[in-house]
Amino acid sequence: MYRQPYAQNKWKQAQLLRHHPSTARHFPATQIAKGPIILAFLRQYPIVYIKPTSGGQGRNIIRVDRIQGGSFRVRKQGGREVTFPTLSATGQYLQRQIASRGHVIQQGIYSVTRQNLPFDIRVHMQHVLGEWTVGGMVGKVAQANQIVTNRHRGAIPTTMEKLLDHHLGYQSAKKNHVLSILRTVSLRTATLMRKGYPGWHNFGIDFGIDAAGKPWIYEINIYPGVHVFRALPDKRPIRQIMENWRKNRMRKRISNNN
């Protein structure tokens, strides 16, 4: 059985989800960030992210974009932008930036709206009365200059209907197809994650969607907040999440009394 580090550590999460057929095709290429691996990712992918193996809320994340002429633009969340003319210079800089702690490097997903604004989707999964269910889904749209789509970094919560209709311009058939994939992949992901965290009842799964409409898992939050759902004008998702919590508390209370 998988142990708790799978749920707490981005590298362990990646190992779990990348090596299971039901989730592997929706999880970006991810490796421990070190010299040769960093260079290989920079060669292979036009966008890469480097993230601390632990931590959250978009802290200490680095994004690297390959730009015209073979140069590389490096941006740190909340920091300045630096451009390097060569692959080797970029790799050396990145290794210095991450030398003090463990990081993963991940294939970047170009997940942007029609207005070229970065976005992601949070799916709140809940284990209710013995089964996994989608408590709620919410989109988060960031400003154009942001490298993460985290509400703590200024991203604006939006309903899934507005995200898919207005921001992405999806027709009904495509919208339903994407929503179906999100639900299916979220169910599989939560089922796998619970092997690493037995007894856990809530996971927040963050997705991007590429230009072809394919959902990609960014990461899984084992302590998902609900403030992003409270900020929506549509209160149905937060009501459903709270109702699911009440069901679990009531079941636990009944079980303890028996």
Reported as a single tens digit per residue, the pLDDT across 167-177 is 999 999 999 99
Q: How far apart are CA 120 and CA 138, in angstroms?
A: 9
Sheet with 119-128, side-by-side order of all strands: 156-158, 131-141, 119-128, 202-209, 215-221
Percent of the chain residues topping a pLDDT of 90 = 71
Number of domains present in the structure of the chain: 2
**Which residue's structure tokens are 């601390």?**
52
The answer to whether position 22 is within a domain reads: no
202 DSSP β-pair partners: 126
Q: What CATH code is carried by the domain that includes residue 89?
A: 3.30.1490
The answer to whether position 33 is within a domain reads: yes
- pLDDT of 1 over the 50 cut: no
The answer to whether position 154 is within a domain reads: yes
Q: How confident is the model at residue 2 (pLDDT cuts 50, 70, 90)?
A: very low
Residue type for 1, please? M
- pLDDT of 147 over the 80 cut: yes
Of residues 157 and 255, more confidently modeled: 157
Domain shared by 201 and 225, yes or no: yes
Please provide the average confidence, as pLDDT, over all residues in the chain. Answer: 91
The answer to whether position 135 is within a domain reads: yes
The answer to whether position 20 is within a domain reads: no
The answer to whether position 1 is within a domain reads: no
Domain shared by 74 and 134, yes or no: no
User: Do residues 120 and 139 make contact, with C-beta atoms less than 8 angstroms apart?
Assistant: yes
- pLDDT of 5 over the 70 cut: no
Q: What CATH code is carried by the domain that includes residue 213?
A: 3.30.470.20
Reported as a single tens digit per residue, the pLDDT across 20-62 is 998 999 999 999 999 999 999 999 999 999 999 886 666 789 9
Domain shared by 244 and 132, yes or no: yes
Domain shared by 103 and 211, yes or no: no
- pLDDT of 227 over the 60 cut: yes
- pLDDT of 154 over the 90 cut: no
Find the distance separating the first CA and the last CA of the chain, reported in whole Å: 29
Domain shared by 63 and 129, yes or no: no
Residue 92 corresponds to which tokens in the numbers above?
């050396």
Domain coverage including residue 179: 119-257
Of residues 80 and 127, more confidently modeled: 127
